[in-house]
Structure 1
Amino acid sequence: MKSTILFLLLLAMSILPTAAQTTGTPLLQVAEFGKHQPIGVAVSQQGRIFVTFPKKDKNYDYAVAEIVNGQRRPYPNAEWNQWDSLQARTRFVSVQTVFVDQEDNLWVLDPSNPGDEAPLIAGIKLLKINLKTNQVERVYRFEDIPRERSGLNDVRIDTRRQVAYLSDPKLAAIVVLDLKTGKSRLVLQGHKSTMAEPGYVLRIDGKEVKDKTGKPFSSNVNGIALTHDFEYFYYRAINQTKLYRIKTEYLRDASLNTQQVAQHVETVGETGISHGMIADAAGNVYLTDSPNHAVRRVTPAGHLETVTQDPRLHWPDTFAIGPDGYLYLTAAQINLTPKWNNGEDKVQYPFRLYKMKIGK
């Protein structure tokens, strides 16, 4: 079965259209944000839209915003969004992403690393917010992992077993968090499936993504997805082309060492470069594709399909699926920012949030 899936993925890659075309499902604009760079997006069961804006430079005001009539409103309130390094425990420092679980709670992940610098340890946190009351119900601090070296990136929630799964590119590991006890631990740290491929340089629109010193962009395990039944966890690094998955029972089993867990890692196949991903209720796994300005999906049968290609999709980053049958996504344009263009700002403003129809 594994070899069949791999064959189908390789076959699909060989017939993908080029990035110059605009094909597939129409891409609709939801909101625009001026010079405020969006990364994470989440949509509640009631259709409420939330977007994150990590602290990078002077173009910053809110870490988390609810989008109401196309406008940003600080969420859950203005106080949480008042940046203050001396109050990092109770203020947002640099929020990376948000996620709505199957019980309609909003989870806010703050790796507390403004400008991608070393993290403010006190500010590293995961918040659970009750969307009915708009109140923070619990804060997790990750005191069991080496926080001074961490860089938490994405999160998925198993509401049935009360477990959170997170990616940490800086530690090249998956973080498993027990939501009942608050205890966290690293899994598959340094395994080939969580590591960037050595020497692999991203190339987008014919240009290598490097900083002014010539250092290439590189990220270990980054995008993650959890199937609707919570049984499979999909993950991958940005700087490699393979998609992996593992049954969640092996991630949850704290009695297994790295080698024992690694025996259960499955290679889904070659999918090209991807940053973010999400699984829908039908078992499809959607992946972003920056080099081709596209959105792909791997079907339950293992087929790799192009959902849409659009020249506006500069570094599509994060997905959310709404109750309206739309797939929402941010276009972060990371490769066009000054850091990766020798100080020149090539971003095509304004930053935008998009959506496309994928279901009924």
Structure 2
Amino acid sequence: MKPEIEGLTRRTLLAAAATIPLSRQAVAATAAAPVLSVAAIAPFLCSGVAVTPDETIFLGMPRFPGNEATFSVGRVAPDGTVHPFPGGSWNDWKPGQDGSAAFVMVNAIHLFADGTLWAVDQGAPPGQSPEPGAQKLVQLDTTSGAVLRVLRFPEDIMPPGAQFNDLRIHGDLLFATDSGLGGIVIHNLKTGRTLRRLSAHPLLRNDATHIHKGGGGRILQDAQGNRPQVQSDDIEIDADGTWFYFAVPAGPLKKIRVADLLDDRKSDIDLAALVQVAAEIPSIGGTCIDTLGNIYLSDGENARIVILSPDGRRTTLVQDPRLISPDALFIDRKRTLYVPCSQIEKLAMFNGGTDGTHAPFLVLSLPLPEQLGALRLGAAVEG
């Protein structure tokens, strides 16, 4: 989006986005299904969203090719404009600068029970290696913008090639995935103790069977036919902290008991034997889970959000052609579901060498019904 567009009012922006045509099939479907509305419009490609209890929206905007000018993390003002957060040097990183106290490549943002914002910074643009200290997890106060905590880990936890992807918090425990080598990092926020589990294990890496696809089942690849190599990516923890779910984008969705991950008497070989396949899934960009154990999947192949119930039932919550590479999902305290439409599948590195991304970069939302058919839906799992 060009800079002069950023000053438009929220009303003008949302009115423009609302004019994006739906197919006849989508229009017909909305008569009986939940309907997505535009919650925010990002000035750059947006893959993450988090919403505070007072309904302030934060956006994560990674430094993908073509988005080098991103300020990485933004707060949406009441008029719909998006402003750098927390501001200053944190949002002004340029190649060659020190990235230890600046956002370089924010792959995910999230907000948990205490209302603070976490940003996952991979520390380097795609295809590059992070400089020392640049890869980090950053916790911020959503009101003042104060940086509350910056977590960095030594090479026994994050070895060369490791790359933070996403995180969840349950109680005092922070769980993060490594999508570079494959692995699960568990950090106790109270004691400081950290574990790395299932490091580079095949169960956390792409296999030769499940292929990462985009809309219509198109295989994602660059101009030379190279396919994305994203290892352990999406994670969820159920409300009572029993099950840890994880997947690479192409699936399948797997699970293991949290208690087993925390048991340092168990080796990675022991843990691998305890991993279960929870479900085969389409290629996804993101997930979330509700208090009843329903897992919401951003189905990038079919432009829809699918709900996978604990007993294995699948229900389509909403389908909409604007859901281009739907990414990390977020449920707020009022049970509104937010979906960033990242368009990642249209980046040149995934689109045969041609960049097909374009404004507007939408974040859509819908209020969750209490029930969808015979399936009851829960509230946000806040950790």
Deviation at 1:100, TM superposition (A): 0.8
Q: State the alpha-carbon separation in 2 of the partners of residues 61 and 355 from structure 1.
A: 23
Q: Does 1:198 align with 2:221?
A: no
Q: State the alpha-carbon separation in 1 of the partners of residues 290 and 207 from structure 2.
A: 28
Find 1:136's aligned residue among 147, 163, 167: 147
Find 2:157's aligned residue among 145, 148, 158: 145
CA contact (8 A) 1:154 1:224 kept: yes
Q: Does 1:219 align with 2:230?
A: yes
CA contact (8 A) 1:276 1:317 kept: yes
TM-score (norm 2): 0.82
Q: Secondary structure in 2 aligned to 1:262?
A: helix
Find 1:64's aligned residue among 73, 77, 98: 73
Q: Which residue of 2 aligns with 1:26?
A: 35
* AA partner of residue 63 (structure 2): K
Q: State the alpha-carbon separation in 1 of the partners of residues 237 and 25 from structure 2.
A: 31
**Structure 1 pair 206–225 and aligned structure 2 pair: CA distance change class (3 A):** closer
Q: Which residue of 1 aligns with 2:301?
A: 291
**Structure 1 pair 359–257 and aligned structure 2 pair: CA distance change class (3 A):** same
**Structure 1 pair 318–20 and aligned structure 2 pair: CA distance change class (3 A):** farther
**Structure 1 pair 323–120 and aligned structure 2 pair: CA distance change class (3 A):** same
- 1:133-180 deviation per Cα after TM superposition (whole angstroms, max 9, x unaligned): 43211111022424431111100011x2x1111111111111112223
Deviation at 1:123, TM superposition (A): 0.6
Q: State the alpha-carbon separation in 2 of the partners of residues 20 and 214 from structure 1.
A: 34
Unpaired segments ≥5 residues, structure 2: 1-22, 371-383
Q: Give matches, 1:159-308, under 5 Å.
A: 160=171, 162-198=172-208, 200-204=210-214, 205-240=216-251, 242-308=252-318
CA contact (8 A) 1:21 1:309 kept: no
Deviation at 1:206, TM superposition (A): 5.0
Q: State the alpha-carbon separation in 1 of the partners of residues 271 and 97 from structure 2.
A: 40
Deviation at 1:193, TM superposition (A): 3.1
- 1:20-78 deviation per Cα after TM superposition (whole angstroms, max 9, x unaligned): 942432111112224x1111111122222111111123532311111122211111223
Deviation at 1:318, TM superposition (A): 0.7
Q: Does 1:340 align with 2:340?
A: no
Q: Secondary structure in 1 aligned to 2:270?
A: helix
Q: Secondary structure in 1 aligned to 2:160?
A: helix
Moved more, 308-317 or 272-281: 272-281
CA contact (8 A) 1:157 1:163 kept: yes
Q: State the alpha-carbon separation in 2 of the partners of residues 55 and 122 from structure 1.
A: 18
TM-score (norm 1): 0.87
Q: State the alpha-carbon separation in 1 of the partners of residues 169 and 114 from structure 2.
A: 10
Moved more, 103-112 or 185-194: 185-194
Find 2:322's aligned residue among 287, 309, 312: 312
Q: Which residue of 1 aligns with 2:8?
A: none
Deviation at 1:313, TM superposition (A): 0.7
Deviation at 1:348, TM superposition (A): 4.2
Q: State the alpha-carbon separation in 2 of the partners of residues 228 and 122 from structure 1.
A: 33
**Structure 1 pair 301–146 and aligned structure 2 pair: CA distance change class (3 A):** closer
Q: Which residue of 1 aligns with 2:131?
A: 120
Q: Which residue of 1 aligns with 2:113?
A: 102
**Structure 1 pair 33–129 and aligned structure 2 pair: CA distance change class (3 A):** closer
Q: Which residue of 1 aligns with 2:51?
A: 43
- 1:270-289 deviation per Cα after TM superposition (whole angstroms, max 9, x unaligned): 22222211111232111111
Deviation at 1:268, TM superposition (A): 1.3
Aligned length: 338
CA contact (8 A) 1:121 1:148 kept: no
Q: State the alpha-carbon separation in 1 of the partners of residues 165 and 106 from structure 2.
A: 9
Higher relative contact order, structure no. (Cα contacts within 8 Å, ≥ 6 residues apart): 1
Q: Which residue of 2 aligns with 1:16?
A: none
Deviation at 1:116, TM superposition (A): 4.0
- 1:197-251 deviation per Cα after TM superposition (whole angstroms, max 9, x unaligned): 22543343253211111112232211111222222211111133x2111221111
Identity %: 27
Report runs of 4+ in structure 1 exceeding 6 Å deviation: none
**Structure 1 pair 105–33 and aligned structure 2 pair: CA distance change class (3 A):** closer
Q: State the alpha-carbon separation in 2 of the partners of residues 276 and 55 from structure 1.
A: 18
CA contact (8 A) 2:42 2:59 kept: no
Moved more, 301-310 or 342-351: 342-351
CA contact (8 A) 2:250 2:282 kept: no
Q: Secondary structure in 2 aligned to 1:263?
A: helix
CA contact (8 A) 1:140 1:182 kept: no
